[in-house]
Amino acid sequence: MRSLIFWVAVFLLVGIPLPASAEVTICLEVQAEPEELENLSKLVRTELARHPSHRLVERDCQVHLVVELFEVAKAKVLTLRIDDNVPMRLRIDNPNDLIKDLTDGLSLVLDNDPVRLNRDIAHMSLLERAAHSVLQQGNTNWHFELFQAVSRTESGAAFAPGGAFAMSRGANHAQVMARVYAAGFPGGLQGDARVLRVMAGADVGAAWEFDARSAFSFYVGAGIGLRYVRYEGLLRPTDPGSDESFNAILGGFTLRAGLRMFRTTDFDLDIYAAAFIPLHPAVDVDSLLFGEDGLYTPSGQVGIGIGF
């Protein structure tokens, strides 16, 4: 279990980096009556410091913010404008409302700053650009899958049909995925064969599609998962009454490769092969089915999914 926690932490810390927070440098110009100018400047600078998206500099800035406070028809008017964009004007009927109106207005102006909205992400790493693309531009799809699972046992391969429900979000080449699944073999026990009676689990991961735009694209992916398995078999092949069960919970890595088709329509078709590589052997101290040391049980799935 400690190994699983360690690898989950590694995956979260280095496998899926969050997009870098690219600050926009901003210059400030404050205009007001001489008796109000100093205090208004301090107030604006204090509010700007609360916005990590922008960093106040004195020169060589990317955008220019102008804040004006003036009187028209015996009423105060607060104006905020970035470069040549449409200014925001707020009427200050009560002097006590100035701080709140400045806070709200500044948030709206900075959030809609065209430089921030269209900033170049070329400085980001490949993984950071992929994560930024998925989070900011991605589309979410839901998938139903049918698959055939195969798992290693000491007497050979054990097969089980199953189904899965998955969610993916992606843009361009990158996809992130989450999936829950279940499978099981309904047949009886015979001879020394081991039956994969139940397999259920969940995994999360990321995939890279080789073509970002075409209707057909191959892809590869990897992730981590947690799985429950139950095997059944006869301890003595000729004795039907010697049936035994084996239960285990496994953590491991997942690998997946496939072909997605009809990606430009309202649904897509996914033909795939997946593998589950456990981090440790399957062990059940209450069962003799695989001996005292258990058994290392990697497995695979071959399936087809429909997304919408």
Count the alpha carbons within 13 Å of 182 in the hemisphere toward its beta carbon. 2
- pTM recorded for the entire structure: 0.60
Structure tokens at 47: 């509010």
Q: How far is residue 236's CA from residue 243's CA, in Å, rounded to a whole number? A: 8
Per-residue pLDDT tens digits for 92-125: 888 888 888 888 888 888 877 666 555 545 555 5
Contact 185, 148 (CB under 8 A): no
Residues of the chain with pLDDT under 50: 1-21, 120
What gap in Å lies between CA 196 and CA 150, rounded to an integer?
Answer: 9
Q: How far apart are CA 223 and CA 206, in angstroms?
A: 6
Cβ neighbours for 223, distance < 8 A, ≥ 6 positions apart: 11, 177, 203, 204, 205, 206, 253, 254, 256
Cα separations (Å) of 171 from 69, 137, 181, 248, 307?
A: 44, 6, 25, 37, 15
Model confidence pLDDT, tens digit, residues 177-220: 999 999 999 999 989 999 999 999 999 999 999 987 788 999 99
